[in-house]
Structure 1
Amino acid sequence: MDPTRAPDFEPPSENGTPNPPLAPQSTIPKSGPIMPYVLADYNASIDAPIHPRTYKKHSKVGRMVSTAHHSTIPLKQPELQPASHETSEEEDANDHEDHAYDNDNESVHTRMERPSPSPAPSQSQIYTSQYSRADLARQFTDQMNFVNPDDEKVEHIGSRIHKYQIADLEEVPHGIVRQAASLDQYSFPAHRLQKELRNPNKLPLIVVACGSFSPITYLHLRMFEMALDAISEQTRFEVVGGYYSPVSDNYQKPGLAPARHRVRMCELACERTSSWLMVDAWESLQPTYTRTAKVLDHFNDETNVKRGGIATASGVHVGVKIMLLAGGDLIESMGEPNVWADSDLHHILGNYGCLTVERTGSDVRSFLLSHDIMYEHRRNVLVIKQLIYNDISSTKVRLFIRRGMSVQYLLPNSVIRYIQEHGLYVNQTEPVKQVMGNKE
């Protein structure tokens, strides 16, 4: 986050002491740089680069297919299921066929011990099933065609489908505790934090994104997935969790919705659409603006100091590396004079690290070469190139909302509905330069 927007911002001095002070380096695990060293660094041979693991799987046509193992956190299927668990006969048949191919490595002895399949249904049973489905379909159609003349206030989607009849697959699942509204009720969210390192040859990593998220967009969600791919393919780390940390209301920026709304929108966006992302409200609940370096200290304290890191398969706990996920514009702001304190930059880049997603028209690599502190910690900075460019910005989304334009497919549906229900961004105004030139 841009420190100049803090209400008490003062240009950093060369000999100034950070206030509040940064966490001591002894509490931060020494996991090494995010980028592996190359031959030129040591002038000696080193281990070969890490390649994605592959395994063999039979395709449906009977030939062997090699599939790259992606070390992403697996989806939690029960949380992603729709409200109705009914499936068609074709889907059931495909599921059984896929299951048969997935078990191609099973021994013949195990297969022989399986009970024989149930006998095929008789013609009368098939007729009864078809009749029941047809009857249900006709009943549903009759209900849809019925329009109550007294029900004028019911909102419809399309011609005869009521809004309440549409299942929202992006709503927060049941059982997920919402973030606290005050610091005295706050607890660190760890419901999706990996409890044990899956790959013993890798080191644990938590990715943290600081920002205003006003509102959160699909680009904010996509950034984490791009980072996950880059980490899996280019580093020796395993991602064990990802967090959004919305800034507090003390951050002076046009278009900033109240923190409680921004935290809730982040929850709606990630708790249903992702299997590993979480929202931490600690920064948003602070009474004053919190520097990014101190936010990373907070995650280190919660993860490594209070929890003792993460367990390995052998039961030994190891320290978790914390890294900041940011856009290229944030990294470029670190080179502006009198904005970021050198002590904060050394702390963020040296003790933690940064994952930088390139934006359209930005050249982050050239900036890393020209900036002294950036170049010093270049091994702890991973530049992520967008293979499919996405230039959605929260600023432009707010403009669309003020103009009454559609923001469908720019934000999750649950976030759009939340904005509508609370009337956010409708009556706000922002400077033209801020709207047209903002890269957030």
Structure 2
Amino acid sequence: MAGRGLWQGLKLVGCAVWLRRGVPRDKEPVVLIACGSFSPVTLMHLRLLEDARDTLHAQGHRHVIGGYLSPTHDKYGKKTLALGHHRLNMTALAVEDSEWLNVDVWENAQSGWTPTALVLDRFERALQAVALTDEHGDPHPKPIKVMLTCGADLLDSFETIKEDGSPLWQPAHQDIIARNGIVCLERQGTDIDEVIARQDVLARNRANIVVFPPAVTNSISSTTVRRQLAQGRSVRYLIPRPVEDYIYRHQLHRLPNWQA
């Protein structure tokens, strides 16, 4: 079972010990990666991964063998972050009943913040050692493809320039992400085709970018959950029940940085 157990501190675990074997020989094996704060993780985060997997399977030539949620480091700099071990624990609880999703602790366990592109690069290198088999038990002929799962706003942010004049995303990091592959959820108000067309790195790698509409309209966000908690309102059916229980058990709803 994925997500089994809780981390009380930072403990490294191998990222490929539970991936599915027996991939159809004519399918490209894919691992989906969702990077984020997960402060807290919501049902929207989980639906994003489920919809991404369904979309790739519907294409007919890809087979998702697993998915990872990778909570960011405490030094990411976002003011609303709960401590890393709490975010790891909540994310693990959120996927404990999933047969294909798990949590990877590597990013959170580093000495500082790691850019998303380098997280993906690490996954790609780690998964090269995984010996997949096909449906007959023979070695699978295709390598595992690592694909970032995200919303359209992330791709739109590739063009963002910070106040100091430097790009939010280094060009080399954009290239790593686009070259690996992206499964992108359409977002209301963002013309994703236009975003891709006007950015050379995305346009060059268009074949690696899969865009899909939400199966259901779902605007649940971590911000919404924190606001509900700060106002003493219910968060039932916005986050997994074990995550809700964890928040109250550890008094996370009282965190000063969750009150805004």
Partners of 2:147 and 2:183 within 8 A in 1: yes
SS of the aligned residue for 1:334 comes to: helix
**Residue 344 of structure 1 pairs with residue 173 of structure 2:** yes
Equivalent residue number for residue 322 of structure 1: 146
What is the CA–CA distance in structure 1 between the aligned matches of 2:7 and 2:27, rounded to whole Å?
Answer: 31
Partners of 2:74 and 2:84 within 8 A in 1: yes
Equivalent residue number for residue 150 of structure 1: none
Equivalent residue number for residue 355 of structure 1: 183
Equivalent residue number for residue 164 of structure 2: none
Q: Letter of the aligned partner of 2:125 in structure 1? A: D
What's the CA shift string for 1:86-124, capped at 9, x where partnerless? Answer: xxxxxxxxxxxxxxxxxxxxxxxxxxxxxxxxxxxxxxx
What is the CA–CA distance in structure 2 between the aligned matches of 1:283 and 1:231, rounded to whole Å?
Answer: 26
**Residue 311 of structure 1 pairs with residue 133 of structure 2:** yes
**Residue 415 of structure 1 pairs with residue 237 of structure 2:** no
Structure 1 residue 326, shift from structure 2 partner: 0.7
**Residue segments in structure 2 that go unaligned for 5+ positions in a row:** 162-166
**Residue 245 of structure 1 pairs with residue 70 of structure 2:** yes
What is the CA–CA distance in structure 2 between the aligned matches of 1:177 and 1:410, rounded to whole Å?
Answer: 22
What is the CA–CA distance in structure 2 between the aligned matches of 1:253 and 1:278, rounded to whole Å?
Answer: 24
CA RMSD for the aligned pairs? 2.0
Partners of 1:179 and 1:186 within 8 A in 2: no
Structure 1 residue 177, shift from structure 2 partner: 4.6
**Residue 204 of structure 1 pairs with residue 33 of structure 2:** no
Distance change >3 Å, CA 179–CA 239, structure 1 → 2:
farther
Aligned pairs, how many?
253
What's the CA shift string for 1:348-374, capped at 9, x where partnerless? Answer: 111x11111112222212211121211
Larger radius of gyration: 1
SS of the aligned residue for 2:156 comes to: helix
Structure 1 residue 267, shift from structure 2 partner: 0.7
Partners of 1:192 and 1:277 within 8 A in 2: no
Distance change >3 Å, CA 231–CA 391, structure 1 → 2:
same
What's the CA shift string for 1:235-289, capped at 9, x where partnerless? Answer: 51100010000001111012100110011111111112x2110000110011111
SS of the aligned residue for 1:407 comes to: coil
Q: Letter of the aligned partner of 2:59 in structure 1? A: Q
SS of the aligned residue for 1:244 comes to: strand
What is the CA–CA distance in structure 2 between the aligned matches of 1:259 and 1:385, rounded to whole Å?
Answer: 31
User: Quick one: which of 190, 200, 214 aligns to 1:386?
Assistant: 214
What is the CA–CA distance in structure 1 between the aligned matches of 2:60 and 2:27, rounded to whole Å?
Answer: 9
Residue identity over aligned pairs, in percent, reads 35
What is the CA–CA distance in structure 2 between the aligned matches of 1:234 and 1:246, rounded to whole Å?
Answer: 29
SS of the aligned residue for 2:39 comes to: coil
**Residue 332 of structure 1 pairs with residue 161 of structure 2:** no
User: Quick one: which of 15, 39, 61 aligns to 1:214?
Assistant: 39
SS of the aligned residue for 1:253 comes to: coil
What is the CA–CA distance in structure 1 between the aligned matches of 2:258 and 2:252, rounded to whole Å?
Answer: 14
Partners of 1:255 and 1:425 within 8 A in 2: no
Q: Letter of the aligned partner of 1:223 in structure 2? A: L
What's the CA shift string for 1:177-225, capped at 9, x where partnerless? Answer: 545833xx5221445411231x221110000000000100000010111
Partners of 2:51 and 2:215 within 8 A in 1: no
SS of the aligned residue for 1:392 comes to: coil
Structure 1 residue 228, shift from structure 2 partner: 1.1
Partners of 2:31 and 2:67 within 8 A in 1: yes
Q: Letter of the aligned partner of 1:398 in structure 2? A: R
**Residue 233 of structure 1 pairs with residue 58 of structure 2:** yes
Distance change >3 Å, CA 427–CA 263, structure 1 → 2:
closer
